[in-house]
Amino acid sequence: MKKHFNEDLIKIILSIFLLLISFLFKDNIKLILLVISYIIISYEMYIEMIKNISKGIIFDENLLMIIATLGAFYIGSTLEGVLVILLFQIGEYLSSLAVNKSKESITSLMSLKINEISIVHNNEIKTMSPEKISINDIIVIKNGDRIPIDGVVVEGNTHLDTSSLTGESLPRSVKEGDKVLSGYINRDNVIKIKATATYKNSTTQRIIDMIEKSEDKKSNYETFIRRFSKIYTPIVVLLALLIVLIPTLIGCNFNEWLYKGLVFIVTSCPCALVISVPLGYFCGIGRASKEGIVVKGARELESLKDIDYLMLDKTGTITEGAFEVTKIDTKMNNNEFLKVIASAETHSNHPIAKAIKEKYNKELFDVTNYKEIPGKGISCKINNKDILVGNNKLLEDNNINFNKSNDIGTIIYLVENKEYKGYLVISDKIKESSKDIKLLKEVINKEIIVLSGDNNNIVEDISKKIGIKKHFGELLPLDKVSIVNDYKEKGKVLFVGDGLNDAPVIKAANVGVSVGGIGSDATIEASDAVLMSEDINKIGNAIKVSKLTNKKVTNAIIFALAAKFIVLLLAVLGLSTILLAVFADVGVTLLVVLYVLTILYVKI
């Protein structure tokens, strides 16, 4: 894409001026003015053509246009030759402006760049570049400031505008202890946050990186168009030669058929296809970002349009992941029972472990021989006792005699020296946004399924409450991968999860989505898209954007090919001119560019 728009505009204006002035003169002076006009508007095309030929790229739009104009000069149509290049450059300039505008629109959705921030250093407030911020630095966020780095509120309370990341219009209330993401805007009181990431690893920088890298991931359409253009352009030149040579060899007028060949070449330029298809997908990625989901590339966006099975992780995806201890059943002292379990969970960052530690919230026992058993629980030593803390699978694997609880919730059992000591129940809340998934049911072709490592009874209860019939519980990460692979044989699978343990499943699915901007590096790296809010219905919007983008791009291709075919037919019949051919190339390009830009604005 062109960058120096002012320079391009000056050349176009100067070329037009000389062309208009030429009408005041005749013969040699007129010819000289037209040639100068032509040189001003076309010399960069000659340079670009020579560079491309040196790289082995011979057949491109530059070569086609130069052949057409030189041919026009040869048959004495100097004015028409200048107009061909001039109109082509005007079209290119307007298309470049439109493309640049779309990219500005996309990157300004979040106005991500922040130049300096205020931090607390030795009880003084200093300003510095966000790139210099370290983890645990205290940052002051004033009213109207954009949060530069992911962090936790350590002082104050306020309301944040999260729309640039999540697409949500309602402000979010935050207080001490709440997590905040870079990109949010403070709309109320002054707060202080402690940085939990560096600038490079913060949410906004990750989004910028994803959008910048998205252009490297081509859709099937883009891949086809690029291959098509490499074959198509040489064929066009060959057909143009045949259009000129065959009639000439049988006695027809050379200049007449040369003109028809030139019209054929100009009409056949694949600019509309080469520009509009990647631009359409880039606009789709921008629109999805506006709706609160960052898609990593055109290929991933394209894949969203025909999802057959949507598979949802439960904890943190459907539910809030805000657990609390709701029941304790033990013959031990409740406080002592809690202390042992909380001590065993001391090294775990799982939301359930946090809920238990918050419930006890006192000094813990020392823990040795700590071992986390994925999908089952923890084994360790406390006060020289062998401790098992986890679900029923952990106890069954260790041949522990116990009474299995039928409570609805996550059941955590305690075993000391092979002796069963009791259990506690952890409950989770369904997110408000998960209670109505009508939009998801509308856009998914076949079925929505819940996958969880939690107890079957809990998974069944949660699934019924939100209207999902199919569910699988008590799954290890590899079990989830196996289920995803089984369903991939029946159709296209989209999996949504939020934890580190979901990374293998996200990678296994046809399309993997991680929830919430703070997700682990491994989960985000494995995913094809990142849901910036915790509202799973946003995935429905992303699927709609994918379908809209595919429809617009398909329509643009059909229109461009139809317009070119009609003008090519007219050219062969001798009913077209080079100027009409320029419209079939440049005019159609501009029209399809403007058409695909509507992806950013139309209602989905």
- d(Cα 8, Cα 1) in Å, to the nearest integer? 12
Tokens read off for 468: 């999902």
Helix (H, G, I), strand (E, B) or coil at 572: helix
Cα-Cα-Cα-Cα torsion 492, 498, 502, 507, nearest 10 degrees, comes to 40
Residue recorded with tokens 């048959």: 75
Active site residue 313: yes
Per-position DSSP letters for 416-482, written without gaps between them: ETTEEEEEEEEE--B-GGGS--HHHHHH-SSEEEEE-SS-HHHHHHHHHHHT--EEE-S--HHHHHH
Are 450 and 462 a contacting pair, CB within 8 Å? Answer: yes
Q: Could you say which DSSP state residue 502 is in? A: G
Q: How far is CA 351 from the centre of its chain?
A: 28
Residue recorded with tokens 């494995």: 526
**Sheet bearing 124-128, strands edge to edge:** 124-128, 117-121, 138-141, 191-195, 151-155, 179-180
- d(Cα 559, Cα 494) in Å, to the nearest integer? 32
- d(Cα 591, Cα 490) in Å, to the nearest integer? 40
Give ∠ CA 223-596-566 in degrees, rounded to 5.
80
Are 72 and 5 a contacting pair, CB within 8 Å? Answer: no
**Residues β-bridged to residue 515:** 531
φ, ψ at 495 (rounded to 5°): -115, 140
Instruction: List, in sequence order, the alpha helices (H) in 215-362.
Output: 220-249, 254-268, 271-290, 298-303, 334-344, 351-360
User: 334-344 vs 351-360: helix axis angle to the nearest 10?
Assistant: 140
Q: Could you say which DSSP state residue 195 is in? A: E
**Given 313, 454, 502, 535, the catalytic residue:** 313
Q: Could you say which DSSP state residue 332 is in? A: S
Are 325 and 425 a contacting pair, CB within 8 Å? Answer: yes
Are 504 and 475 a contacting pair, CB within 8 Å? Answer: no
φ, ψ at 184 (rounded to 5°): -70, 150
**Catalytic machinery residues:** 313
